[in-house]
Structures are given as structure tokens and as C-alpha cells.
């Protein structure tokens, strides 16, 4: 096998170990799947009906221009279809963005501990990551700006609201960061959790601004993670460049139909937001009952501070997994003192509430 030197230099790994792989290792299913920030509340019934109706048409490829979905998204956001590209979830669009802007040796700036799939793509195209630390459990726009200028980086990544901590910056702070970016640099603003955020956390859309591209998804609030539908909003020149590298037949015809239907179901989105708010409040109550602190969250998950270091939090996570509760945690200190628990249904959170004190007891024994 004759891999390229770049491919041969990379580890054979994935950014996340899936819950299915963990279930195979455990030889039993999870009782509660509340680790991947999926929406256990599911997609809109209208989206399900639209996907079912499109099932008989899967013998056809999806429209490679994705005209109808882009038109619906453009109308929803008050922009033009030329400002929108669609891809296989935000992950797929991140890969194409990196491919467009990053080559071997290109510096790229992100935060240490931020969404790892972005880093995975940068490594895959030979870029060189420059990382800055979080500040008070938030990504640090000032540090990211300084690093971008110092490295001469053409691309910088920031998620708002943030994953894995759930924290957020005001839209004004993000707009100020964009305005101070050096010429030629692009901010990849990951807004996967925008549907859960306070209104003042999301800056106004300005599709004429060439220094930012904004990522959105149907995987979170719309409950369609398995459908793999993401999109980006940006300057028409950058958006047009995606046609140079994207997989024009990579989208699923049923998923596209479901996304269009989901976009118009405002009542279902409101219902999901209410369910998520109630679940986050319950997670905070469970944590407090066990002497733990939670971070305020503008997402569909809660970061729970386990009160120790990363090793202790890993022991807690392992104890939960052994008891059938799938959760995840940040991988970089000091964020790794936390576990991350997705919003769940009452039975999911009942399982978490039952397993957490036992997992904490095991962790305390192993670290005493």
C-alpha cells in the first residue's frame, strides 16, 4: 500500500469513539445515550413524514445544486442562496473549508480543547495547529486574534456557544473579533448550538463580510444528527469556492426533504427548546445533590465540574459507562475536570441520577 507521506504520518484514529463501539466492548446497550449531544427528543413529525414520502425516490440522486434546500435556508435567514453551501453535517463542511484554505505547513489557530474534528481535518491536509488556552472556561477571542496575527494564519476556529463547555460570548464580542481580524484571515464561526442560545449571543448576519463563515446544522435542535445535514453562511466568493471541492452527490435525498420540512416547523423547535431547558435544570439538580457544580450552558448539554482533575473526571465517566450511562468529557486540562451530559428524557436522567453517586464513590476510592 503506497500511502502519501502525509497520510502515512497520521495516526489511524477518529475524533470520537462512538457509543456503538463502547456498547460492543461492554456487550450490552447503554441505558441512557446522553453523551453525543444528539437530540433524544427526535426530529419534527413533519420531517419524519417528508423523509418517509421521499423514501420511494431514493433511486434518484439528490439535486447536486440542492436548489430547494438552499432557497429555503436563504429565505429563513434573509440572505441569498449564493450565501449558502450545504454539506454532510458541519463536519463535512469543515473538511471542505480546510481543504480550500489550508495546505502543508499552513498555520491554523484554534483553542486547546475545542471541537476536535476541526483539528482532525487540519492535520489531514497538512496544516499546523496553533492553540491558545481557554479563559475562565470560555474560548478567548483576544488570544485567538493575537495568535492569528502572530502566525499569519488564514483560518481561525471558534464555536459560539462553545463545545465542550457550553459557555458563550455576546454577539457584540464576536462581531468585534471579526472586525479586528487581519485581512486575508477567515473566522470559522461554529454555531451548531445557535438554536439554544440567547438572542444576544448570535451576531447579526452580514453575508458581505468576507472574514467569517458561519456553520449551522440540523443535527442538534432539529434532531437529525443521523441525516447529516449541515450548512454554512458566508460571502458569495468563499461559498462559490466550495463547488471546487465538495462532493456534489454526497447528500441524501430523504435527508434533504426532511431538512426542508424541519426548517418550517417552528412549533416543534419550540417544543425541543422547552424539553432541553427542563433537562438542563434536572442535570443541574442531580449534580448539586451530589455536591457538584455545573456551568451555565447555552447548548443542549451541561458541563458538570467533578471537583478534581482530569484523571478523577475520567474515573467518574468510566463509572457511569460501566453502569450503562453514555456521557463524554473534554480532553484538555483544565476543561477535563468536567464531564459533559446531554439533555435527556426523564428516564435517561433517572439513570444518570442513579449511576452518578456510585460512579463518584468508585472514583473517590480509586483516588484516595
Over residues 24-59, the pLDDT tens digits come to 999 999 999 999 999 999 999 999 999 999 999 999
Q: What pLDDT is attached to residue 6?
A: 93
Whether the pLDDT of residue 14 is over 90: the answer is no
Burial of 29 (0-12, 13-18, 19+ CB in 10 A): exposed
Its sign, for the CA torsion 273, 279, 281, 287, is negative
- The CATH code that applies to domain 5-42+267-366 is 3.90.1150.10
Does 233 score more than 90 pLDDT? yes
What is the rounded average pLDDT of the residues 346-360? 98
CA distances from residue 40 to 4, 87, 257 in whole angstroms, order as listed:
41, 23, 21
* pLDDT tens readout for residues 69-98: 999 999 999 999 999 999 999 999 999 999
What pLDDT was estimated at residue 367? 78
- Other Cβ atoms closer than 10 A to 150: 11
Is the pLDDT reported for residue 12 higher than 90? no
Residue among 82, 134, 136, 44 at smallest CA distance from 331: 134
**Nearest Cα residue to 178 out of 152, 211, 148, 203:** 211
- Rama region for 184: left / alpha / beta (φ>0; ψ in -120 to 50; rest): left
pLDDT in tens, 162-210: 999 999 999 999 999 999 999 899 999 999 999 999 999 999 999 999 9
pLDDT surpasses 90 at 220: yes
Above 80 in pLDDT, residue 368? no
Give this prediction's pTM.
0.97
In this prediction, residue 1 has a pLDDT band, given cuts at 50, 70 and 90, of confident
Give the residue range(s) of CATH 3.90.1150.10 domains in the chain: 5-42+267-366
Residue 172 is predicted with a pLDDT of: 98
Write the pLDDT tens digit of every residue in 273-315. Answer: 999 999 999 999 999 999 999 999 999 999 999 999 999 999 9
Alpha helices in the chain (DSSP H): 5-9, 19-26, 45-54, 67-77, 89-101, 116-124, 141-151, 171-179, 236-241, 253-263, 266-289, 310-322, 346-366
Provide the mean pLDDT of the chain.
97
Helix (H, G, I), strand (E, B) or coil at 186: strand
Say what the alpha-carbon torsion angle 54, 57, 260, 91 is, to the nearest 10 degrees. Answer: 110
The radius of gyration of the chain's CA atoms, rounded to the nearest angstrom, is 21
CATH number for the region 45-265 comes to: 3.40.640.10
Residue intervals of the chain classified under CATH 3.40.640.10 are: 45-265
**Long-range contacts, 270-278 (Cβ 8 Å, 24+):** 271/41, 272/39, 272/41, 272/221, 272/222, 272/223, 273/195, 273/196, 273/221, 275/41, 275/343, 275/345, 276/39, 276/41, 276/196, 276/221, 276/300, 276/343
Average pLDDT over residues 339-345: 98
For residue 346, pLDDT over 90 is answered with: yes
pLDDT, residue 82, reads 98
- Percentage of the chain beyond pLDDT 90 is 97
CB 296 within 8 A of CB 167: yes
Cβ contact 102:123 at 8 Å: no
Amino acid at each position: 500500500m503506497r500511502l502519501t507521506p502525509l497520510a502515512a504520518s497520521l495516526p489511524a484514529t477518529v475524533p470520537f469513539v462512538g457509543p456503538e463501539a463502547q456498547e460492543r466492548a461492554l456487550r450490552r446497550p447503554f441505558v441512557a445515550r446522553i453523551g453525543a449531544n444528539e437530540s433524544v427528543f427526535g426530529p419534527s413529525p413533519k420531517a419524519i413524514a417528508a423523509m418517509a414520502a421521499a423514501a420511494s425516490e431514493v433511486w434518484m440522486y439528490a439535486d447536486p445544486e440542492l436548489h430547494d434546500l438552499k432557497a429555503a435556508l436563504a429565505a429563513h435567514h434573509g440572505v441569498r442562496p449564493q450565501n449558502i453551501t450545504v454539506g454532510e453535517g458541519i463536519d463535512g463542511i469543515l473538511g471542505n473549508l480546510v481543504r480550500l484554505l489550508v495546505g502543508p505547513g499552513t498555520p491554523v489557530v484554534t483553542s486547546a480543547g475545542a471541537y476536535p474534528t476541526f483539528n482532525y481535518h487540519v492535520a489531514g491536509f497538512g496544516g499546523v495547529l496553533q492553540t491558545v488556552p481557554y479563559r475562565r472556561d470560555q474560548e478567548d477571542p483576544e488570544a485567538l486574534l493575537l495568535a492569528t496575527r502572530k502566525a499569519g494564519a488564514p483560518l481561525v476556529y471558534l464555536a459560539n456557544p462553545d463545545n465542550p463547555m457550553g459557555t458563550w460570548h455576546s454577539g457584540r464580542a464576536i462581531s468585534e473579533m471579526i472586525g479586528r481580524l487581519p485581512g486575508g484571515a477567515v473566522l470559522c464561526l461554529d454555531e451548531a448550538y445557535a438554536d439554544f442560545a440567547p438572542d444576544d449571543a448570535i451576531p447579526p448576519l452580514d453575508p458581505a463580510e468576507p472574514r467569517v463563515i458561519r456553520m449551522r446544522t440540523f443535527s442538534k435542535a432539529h434532531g437529525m444528527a443521523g441525516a447529516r445535514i449541515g450548512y454554512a453562511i458566508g460571502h458569495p466568493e468563499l461559498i462559490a469556492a466550495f463547488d471546487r471541492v465538495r462532493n456534489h452527490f454526497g447528500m441524501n435525498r430523504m435527508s434533504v426533504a426532511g431538512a426542508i420540512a424541519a426548517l418550517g416547523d417552528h412549533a416543534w423547535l419550540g417544543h425541543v427548546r422547552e424539553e432541553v431547558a427542563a433537562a438542563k435544570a434536572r442535570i443541574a439538580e442531580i449534580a448539586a445533590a451530589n455536591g457538584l457544580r455545573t456551568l451555565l450552558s447555552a447548548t443542549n448539554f451541561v458541563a458538570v465540574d467533578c471537583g478534581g482533575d482530569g484523571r478523577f473526571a475520567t474515573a467518574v465517566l468510566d463509572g457511569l459507562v460501566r453502569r450503562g450511562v453514555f456521557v463524554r468529557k473534554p480532553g484538555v486540562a483544565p476543561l477535563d475536570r468536567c464531564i459533559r451530559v446531554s439533555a435527556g428524557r426523564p428516564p435517561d436522567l433517572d439513570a444518570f441520577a442513579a449511576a452518578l453517586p456510585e460512579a463518584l464513590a468508585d472514583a473517590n476510592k480509586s483516588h484516595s
